[in-house]
Amino acid sequence: MNNTGFSKPIGKGDDDAKELIIEALEGKVTGGFDLDSVYLINKQYYVLEFLKCDTVRPFDSHPNRYWFKNKQKFISLWNITQKLSGVLYLVNYEKSREQFKVIKVKSLSSTGIINQDIKEWGFDKFKVWFQELNKKGRENK
């Protein structure tokens, strides 16, 4: 039992839930999606979605490039974030951990992201930002 008042560290067990969903759907298209991270900081929610880049490097990739494939996911993320009066971050990353593009979505429509702030970082800078966000979320309890 965790007596610190915080959530448990993220581990491999968290991947098991996704595998369970995939197995239970037996290859059928899902009507939902998972949220990667949600933080509550100073009464404001921060929603983070991590977008792994396989064919295009993170600095060159953007959700608008493949909007036609995943637009419903991004619209749903935006709608959830709006209902929470929150902030949406989309984080492009690659397996090598060399490049991270952090996109703070400021406005979005059915045709794509309209307004955003973009930061392009290496892993060390991303870790500092992400650990600070996590720390603020833990201190908020």
- Kindly report, residue by residue over 33-84, the tens digit of the pLDDT: 778 899 999 999 999 999 999 999 999 999 999 999 989 999 999 999 999 9
What are the extents of the domains in the chain? 35-134
CATH number of 35-134: 3.10.310
Query: In whole angstroms, how far apart are CA 28 and each of 17, 18, 31, 50, 70?
Result: 17, 14, 9, 23, 16
Tokens of 60: 């060159």
Which residues are CB-neighbours of 123 under 8 A, at least 6 positions away? 97, 98, 100
Torsion sign across C-alpha atoms 36, 85, 46, 57: positive
Pairing of strands 44-52, 37-41: antiparallel
pTM: 0.85
Distance CA 42, CA 46 (A): 10
